[in-house]
A and B are shown apart, each in its own frame.
Chain A
Amino acid sequence: MSKRIGMEIAMAAAEAVALCRPDVIAAYPITPNTHIPEHLADIVADGDLDCEYIAVESEHSALSACTGASAAGARVFTATSSQGLLYMYEIVPVVPSMRLPVIMCLGNRAISGPINIWNDHSDYMCVRDLGWISMFASNGQETIDMCIQAFKIGEHADVMLPVLVNLDGFQLTHVVEAMMMPDQEEVDKFLPPRKPFAALHPDNVVSMGTLGLPDIYNEAKKANDEALINSKKVILEIWKEWETMFGRKYEPIMSYKANDADVLMLTMGSMGETAQVAIDELRKEGFKAGLLDLKLYRPFPADELKKAVKGCKNLIVIDRAVMSGGAAAPVCAEVKSVLYDEPDRPVITNDIIGLGGRDVRVEDFIKIFKKAAKAKPERAYEIYGVRG
């Protein structure tokens, strides 16, 4: 039976990962994800989890160790943030290319510079195109759930890809709140042991991660891209199974009061629920406002987005990262690209908020909403709240 707990979300993520019985964890601590590997190290040291915990000297080594262990057939986990992710960057695209189901928690944090330890999505945006399945949690419960789901999705025979579970640094990692924690029996029932397609073993020699010459590189890329796109089918199946077992529903785009909405706002991560409160306030004022909350960023849920925005006049895309010199901020650029061919697409505006830990308040969403609902946008995107 699941148990209601009060706990810091980072520690709850660690406990959820421990329930998945990882064989190998390799991580290097960096704010704000630190409490995840730290608590897992405690669990292993206390003898509560039979796992090889490798205290590596860098993030590059963390992901390298995870890659090797996963290639040997182990269930593996790591966690990082910001500069730590950038330090492991070289290995990040190698993992999906080798079709290895490494699971990583990313405690989202701004990247330098200026140096900043607080939350935004700029770290994730550096790796979004490197082939990892990517989910964003809005609260502690979703963090726990996604950590467990990630292993089943990534290790599925039709997927075999790494999965990133994004949780906003501080805004989620450092908050104590109430959550339902599944028990070991439930997780064992949901998540069977990993059955690798192939594993490195001295008695059964295979080659992995070999050179891709020009005559095969195109095909390798195509195969990888298709694998990621096709993973959505499995993700949806596994989310359905989760809902049946635990009663909590997951969809690539979750909607809130969106059915009859004229104006929709789209958010990702911990902003989602704060934005729901803004939608409630706007509804009280008579606006037909609704919210779309993007849970799955890779593979990008294009069909779901097209369906979700049908009938709405304005779409306000909220980003938490800048795509310097780009046509829009990252989520919005993607949204615009998906909706370009739609005959009745809404007017799309793009506001960037919450950079480097700038607090995101209910009233910020209300101001952005009222600004966007009035007129056509003058600029492609705006960094909201910049002082003059």
Chain B
Amino acid sequence: MIEVRWHGRGGQGAVTSVELLALTAIGEGKYAQGFPSFGPERRGAPVAAFNRIDDHHIKVRSQIYNPDVVVVLDESLIGMVNVADGLKPEGVLIVNTAKTAKEIAEITKFKGKIATVDGSSIAWKELGVPITNTTMLGAVIKCTNAVKIESVKDPVDHRFGRIANKNMAAMKRAYDEVKFN
């Protein structure tokens, strides 16, 4: 089972990300959960959202405390929220940043694998808005191989309609451009 914890701010679409990843995995015949950190939605406030993906029915319904993957949609959360909290040493920390993995390692003190991609620049260029949820999904797919990038198309089409192609383009760029330490 792969467990993913997403960190973002209210309005940045972390919940949409977990929904898309869960629907993609389910579309591939796998089992998945996607859920928000339950509570009132406040724009700009730090939020978390969660995914579990497995080959069989998932029974656990608690939040995720020891994720295999942590995704940070908003770099300004680092230092404010302990994003690497509970992240498995062999896990991966994926950050939307123009900084290098080395710099992120110094700030977060996470000693494991770190992946970085300038998701905000990609989103500005491809979507015209600084909303990085679909963009960062590309990086997550590259780093985890949890699902195939082609499989995201159906859920993205369904969710975004006429702007689906732009979201797919942003996602593919992040998929190609993400760098590891």
Contact = CB atoms under 8 A, between A and B. Distances in A.
Interface of A: 4-6, 8, 32, 117-119, 170-172, 174-178, 270-271, 273-274, 276-277, 357, 359-362
Interface stretch (B5-13, B36-44, B104-112, B129-137): B36-44
A5 B155 CA distance: 12
Nearest to B22: A176
Interface residues of B, number: 24
Contacts of B25: 6
B19 A176 contact: yes
Nearest to A173: B38
A11 to B, nearest CB: 11
Contacts of B38: 32, 118-119, 170-171, 174, 357
B146 interface: no
A171 B61 contact: yes
B26 A361 contact: no
Contacts of A360: 61-62
Nearest to B51: A176
Nearest to B30: A178
Contact of A176 (B35, B40, B57, B62): B35
Nearest to A178: B26
B59 A277 contact: yes
B32 interface: yes
Contacts of A6: 22-23, 25-27, 32
A178 B60 contact: no
Contact of A174 (B32, B36, B40): B36
B60 to A, nearest CB: 5
Contact of B33 (A4, A5, A175, A276): A175
Contact of B23 (A117, A175, A176, A277): A176
Contact of B62 (A117, A276, A362): A362
Nearest to A357: B38
A270 B32 contact: no
A8 B159 CA distance: 13
Interface centre among B33, B34, B59 (most CB of A within 10 A): B59
Contact of B31 (A172, A175, A177): A177
A274 B62 contact: yes
